[in-house]
A and B are shown apart, each in its own frame.
Chain A
């Protein structure tokens, strides 16, 4: 078997089988990335790389390729450029892959993207010329074969391409077969949607293990009761378990006059929930690492590192 080529720190650590942590950064509707860069600097000591989102929920934010480049340059943190097929046709996307490479991006996460109808420009034309699987194949052709649609690229890009997977998906069978297509297309790593249900996650990860793609488990440590409640209410398909909500609520009410203690307890509660969860999956050999999607919660990362290193 040919030795796997490595283009990024993420690619290298996955190839070496090291258990890793990745983070997530969510630029907003602004041209000033200073807050995101600050957050990137805060999580940089703990994560291998961080995702940079591409107008999630169809709400327009600064372009993810531009933001990825600036964050990588200013914060010195490797990024995983999230790229959806929602807004640009394959001609445009192929150009963006070359542009992303030229800007120094070495990891790209292929996503479908939330439909424009959900966002703040609902009248936009939904493109979806490619889908999340065929975008992976496009990237792989460009990188491995040095071609676009059979046409040679003078200096081909070098990026690792990843995919998303949703263990909460019902029917699970359809999602499993879909991951099979993404694997066939050549995806090099998978980041899952946020999970809270251990049994379901074990079942799903065991099923997709056969595709032999390293999996980073999506987790969402909750910074406050409001965050947990909001996540439970507003993120479709993700249910925060009732006992977590009850515990977070008790921290909020019992320590409302001691913010410092409240923070400490939230952090501790996250640690106590996620530590056994991750350990169990790691022990079963189902994970290559963890992808923490808790944006604006950089102080949780040192604690998460304890879990990762355990």
Chain B
């Protein structure tokens, strides 16, 4: 599993830096997911260093970190590079949204005044077909239905996340959203359940999603 990211337009990032009067920058690039998505890693770091230097920014340091999203790893990075962090007015992270928030959290005690900015948009947690082809197949809803839907997720593959599809927007097995180019999730489920001889599961009237336990600052804490 990879958190899929795409690059923000360069001008959007530059405008944010300008708006916040950033001058001295410390770059942190994700060496895992964003490296795979070519929005971070060593290559991304080189690319952004050049862009920012050309714009006249002072690059205090730039490093590739394996787990920007791991608070422990980031705490180590900050400790090891304390002088650079202290000198920089802002941290630029080439990562997903988890990376940004991990850095904000780690810096919050010692350097609450430091700004943290991100160069990427976080798209989804993705399944990798090959580099450059990533697909959303799970939204982490917290109540997995896959055992009952032939291993195909209706929350993700149905544009309306319906629990009792297909809807009238399905034509010739395709979905009304996106000009009938994508498969209807509920037809995928129907075909799959038919293949495995479990259309009884398809016939089942399903309850609506229970939103009472989800959506707000979800956490898994077991120790």
Q: Tell me the A residues contacting B by CB distance below 8 Å.
A: 86, 90, 111-112, 114-115, 117-118, 126, 128-134, 137, 164, 166, 169-171, 173-175, 177-178, 180-181, 184-185, 193, 236-237
Q: Which residues in A have their C-beta under 8 angstroms from that of B194?
A: 173
Residues B182-211 near A (CB distance < 8 A): 186-187, 190-191, 194, 199, 202-209, 211
Q: Are A90 and B202 in contact (CB under 8 A)?
A: no
Contact flags B211-223 to A (C-beta < 8 A → 1, else 0): 1000000000000
Q: Are B159 and A115 in contact (CB under 8 A)?
A: yes
Q: Are B207 and A134 in contact (CB under 8 A)?
A: yes
Contact partner, A178, options B160, B165, B176, B209, Cβ 8 Å: B165
Binds A, one of B94-102, B105-113, B115-123, B167-175: B167-175
Q: Which residues in A have their C-beta under 8 angstroms from that of B20?
A: none
Q: Tell me the B residues contacting A by CB distance below 8 Å.
A: 159-173, 176-178, 180, 186-187, 190-191, 194, 199, 202-209, 211
| Given contact pairs A169-B170, A181-B205, A236-B171, A131 touches B165 in the complex (Cβ within 8 A) | yes
Q: Are B168 and A166 in contact (CB under 8 A)?
A: yes
Q: In the complex, A308→B186 CA distance in Å?
A: 36
Q: Are A171 and B163 in contact (CB under 8 A)?
A: no
Q: Are A112 and B160 in contact (CB under 8 A)?
A: yes
Q: Are A112 and B186 in contact (CB under 8 A)?
A: no
Number of A-B contacts (CB under 8 A): 89
Q: Which residues in B have their C-beta under 8 angstroms from that of A184?
A: 205
Chain B residue at smallest Cβ distance from A177: B203
Q: Are A133 and B176 in contact (CB under 8 A)?
A: no
Chain A residue at smallest Cβ distance from B168: A166
Q: Are B203 and A112 in contact (CB under 8 A)?
A: no
Question: How far apart are B101's CB and chain A's nearest CB, in angstroms?
Answer: 23
Question: How far apart are A135's CB and chain B's nearest CB, in angstroms?
Answer: 9
Q: Are B187 and A164 in contact (CB under 8 A)?
A: no
Q: Are A130 and B208 in contact (CB under 8 A)?
A: yes
Contact partner, B166, options A137, A175, A193, A236, Cβ 8 Å: A175
Q: Which residues in A have their C-beta under 8 angstroms from that of B199?
A: 173, 177
Q: In the complex, A129→B160 CA distance in Å?
A: 9
What are 11 inter-chain pairs, A to B, with CB distance below 8 A?
Answer: A112-B167, A115-B159, A131-B208, A134-B206, A169-B166, A174-B166, A174-B186, A178-B164, A178-B166, A236-B176, A237-B171
Q: Are B208 and A132 in contact (CB under 8 A)?
A: no
